[in-house]
Amino acid sequence: LLLLNSLRTDKNEYLYIFPVGQGLSALLKSNDKTLLFDTGTYFRGYDSARTTILPTLKSMNIHQLDNIVLSHDNQQHIGGTRTIRKAFPSAEMIVHKDLQHMIDNSILCKNYSYESSGLIIQPLPMQTSCAFNITMQDKVIWLIANLSPNEWNKLIRDEPKPNVVLFPNKGRSKGFKIPTDWDDVILIGSTKIIHSDYSHHNIHNAYYGAIKLEISADKLSVESASDKEIFWWARPIEAI
């Protein structure tokens, strides 16, 4: 509860990455649309959607999801789907091709796009999992789950430089080259141990606490619940 209150709710547009353990779930909140990318992990009775995602959404006054994206068939990414769909039965489902046969009236992620004056969502040309290029407030966000190194290499070669990236395979796998001019790109992982190849880059890890990126025309700021300077209660108590 303290963690939820520490990440302040507001009416701004943002990307919020839930601390769901060795899994992934991210909320994109814009003035036009609220989209949940993956539903977190389910493992041996632990349902991160029930214990973390739903209470956080309630705390943030999120009472409607327009879209739920299921990036690929992996319980670290879609384990909380039953719980989330029960809570938001009217949300439009956008799914990977391997999952479409299980979900009636769903849309293939490669066929989904959206455009308004304030938000553009376009699919990225991936096969391993769903991936989207988001433009909001002139900031570019890549929502990515799992990719192969070859898909990643093609992506960074063909697409313009983004501002924010959900890093492939949650940051735990080697083999994903980070371009030399990406020092200012915000990378987000969600794994117990970020691979050492990426540790010297601007990478944040949602495994140890929620991450919130405030997005506006003049700023792109990051708050992390694992930041002990902001979240004073997480700092060790010094001996007197």
pLDDT digits (tens, 9 = 90+) for 2-59: 444 445 545 689 999 999 988 999 999 999 999 999 999 998 889 999 999 999 999 9
CB-facing half-sphere around the CA of 47: CA atoms within 13 A: 10
Specify the pLDDT at position 12: 83
Question: Once rounded to an integer, what is the mean pLDDT over residues 114-143?
Answer: 96
Specify the pLDDT at position 235: 46
Specify the pLDDT at position 228: 52
**Amino acid letter at 193?**
I
Q: Are 135 and 111 in contact (CB under 8 A)?
A: no
Specify the pLDDT at position 200: 79
Q: What is the DSSP letter of 47?
A: E
Scored b (16 or more CB within 10 A) or e, 59-92 reads ebebeebbbbbbbbebebbbbbbebbbebbeebb
Which is higher by pLDDT, 234 or 58?
58
Band (pLDDT 50/70/90 cuts) for residue 105 is very high
